[in-house]
Amino acid sequence: MADLNPFTAWRRLLALPNESRLKTVAMAFLVSAICAVLVSGATVVLRPIQAANRAAEEQARLEALVAGIPGMADLLQRSGGSLSTVVMDLARGSAAREVTPETLETALADPANWTALQAGQDIAGLGQRPNFAQIYLLRDGDRISLALLPISGAGYNGRIDAILALRGDMRTVAGLAVTRQSETPGLGARIEEPAWLASFAGKQVSDDTGTVRFSVARGTASSAYEVDGITGATRTGNAVTQIVRFWLGPQGYGPLIDAIRRGEF
C-alpha cells in the first residue's frame, strides 16, 4: 500500500539520490511550475499599468504627429483644439452605429467582428482585419481637413503599427508616426527616425484615378508617390509600402476615403 501522506512523500523525494530518474523529473517539473507561476503572476498583475503606459505613449505620439504637421497648430486652435474620435465600419466606409470608442475593445474581442483575408488581398500579412477601426478626424468648418488613420501589418521581424495622417483631399500625406515596431536595430528600426518620417509629408498616395501608387523607393525617391528607401532595410521598406497600400485599398480605408471624397462624411 503506497503511503499517500504528502508530507512523508515529500521527505522521501528529497531523500532520494539526486541522480535518480524520479527526482530529476520531479525537480525539473517543480522548478518549471514555480517559475511559470512567478512569470504569469508578474505579467498579469502588471499588465494594467503597462497598458496605461502604452496608451499614454500612443497618445503622446499622436500629439507629436499632429504637432509636427505644418499649419496644424492653427487648424487645431480653430477647430477647438482637439481631434474627434470616430469608430468606423471599414466595409461600409462610414461611422459604426453600435460601436463607440469605449466599447471598441470588447467588440474586437469577439472573433465575429474580424474578417479573414484571402491570400491575394492580404498584402500586409495580417491574416485577418478588424471590422471596426478607431480613426481621428479634424474638421475645418464642415470639411474634413485631416484624417489620422491607424495602420498595421507584418514587418520583417514583427508587427509594425503606425498612424498615417492624410490631408483633406485624402491624397496628400500630412505625416506618418510609427507607434510600434520590432525591426532590426540600426537598419529597419530606422523607420522610427523623425528624419525619415518627415520625408512622408507632402507625398501623394494615389493618382487622379484613385489608384494607390505610394511606395518606399529602393534608394532615392523618383516621383511624388515615393519616399526614399533606407539602406539595408529593403524588407522593412517593402513592408511599409504594402501596409500603406493595404490600408488605403478596398479592404482597408478605401470605402472611407471614397466617402470623404464624395463629401458624405
Count of helices and strands (H, E) across the chain:
7, 10
Please, which residue, 121 or 184, has the CB nearer to another protein?
184
Please, which residue, 23 or 261, has the CB nearer to another protein?
23
Q: Does 18 bind another protein (CB under 8 A)?
A: yes
Residue 175 has a CB neighbour count (10 Å cut-off) of: 24
What's the closest the beta carbon of residue 176 comes to another protein, in angstroms?
20
Site for another protein in 182-221 (CB under 8 A): 185
Single residue of 1, 2, 19, 209 touching another protein by CB under 8 A: 19
What's the closest the beta carbon of residue 41 comes to another protein, in angstroms?
8
- Residues 113-127 as b/e (b if ≥16 CB within 10 A, e otherwise) read ebeebeeebbbbbbe
Please, which residue, 23 or 213, has the CB nearer to another protein?
23
Please, which residue, 14 or 64, has the CB nearer to another protein?
14
What's the closest the beta carbon of residue 163 comes to another protein, in angstroms?
18
- Sign, CA torsion 85/195/221/203: positive
Number of residues located near another protein, criterion CB under 8 A = 21
Cα gap 249→96, rounded to integer Å? 19
Please, which residue, 9 or 36, has the CB nearer to another protein?
36
Please, which residue, 21 or 262, has the CB nearer to another protein?
21
Please, which residue, 57 or 140, has the CB nearer to another protein?
57
- Residues 7-33 as b/e (b if ≥16 CB within 10 A, e otherwise) read eeeeeeeeeeeeeeeeeeeeeeeeeee
**Helix, strand or coil, per DSSP, at residue 216:** strand
Contacts of 96 (CB under 8 A, 6+ apart): 87, 88, 89, 132
Stretch binding another protein (CB under 8 A), from 12-20, 214-222, 229-237, 254-262: 12-20
Single residue of 8, 11, 57, 207 touching another protein by CB under 8 A: 57
- Sign, CA torsion 124/125/131/134: negative
What's the closest the beta carbon of residue 54 comes to another protein, in angstroms?
8
First-last CA distance in the chain: 78
Compose the 24-53 pattern: x for residues touching another protein by CB under 8 A, - for all others.
Answer: x--xx--xx--xx-xx--xx--x--xx--x
What's the closest the beta carbon of residue 158 comes to another protein, in angstroms?
12
Burial bucket for residue 153 (CB in 10 Å: 0-12, 13-18, 19+) = buried
Residue 88 forms beta bridges with which residues? Answer: 95, 133
Q: Which residues bind another protein (CB under 8 A)?
A: 14, 18-19, 23-24, 27-28, 31-32, 35-36, 38-39, 42-43, 46, 49-50, 53, 57, 185
